[in-house]
Amino acid sequence: MKGLRLFALVAAVFLSIAAVEASGWTFQGCWSPTAFGPCYDAYTDASGNYWRCDACGTTKNPSSHHCVQFNPSTGFWCS
């Protein structure tokens, strides 16, 4: 069951990445403002600005109206 959940999460992230890249936003990974989480989806827009969106793996339609701009050097990339 755990493997199936992981597969579903990976598939969802992959499909989200493909759809978002077509709109000028590129998934960069998961990022957290603290070393202990929580982790959020991180995207860059067409201008190279970083945006923090929903919990890692759950963002459906990132946009400047939905996500918050952030500086990636002020936090931690989640593994």
**pLDDT one-digit tens code per residue, 3-53:** 545 444 444 455 554 455 547 999 999 999 999 989 999 999 999 999 999
Cβ contacts of 34 within 8 Å, gap of 6 or more: 75, 76
Residue 40 pLDDT: 98
Q: Domain segments of the chain: what residues?
A: 2-77
57/60 Cα distance (integer angstroms): 9
- Determine if the pTM surpasses 0.85: no
Residue 9 pLDDT: 45
What is the Cα gyration radius of the chain?
A: 12
30/50 Cα distance (integer angstroms): 12
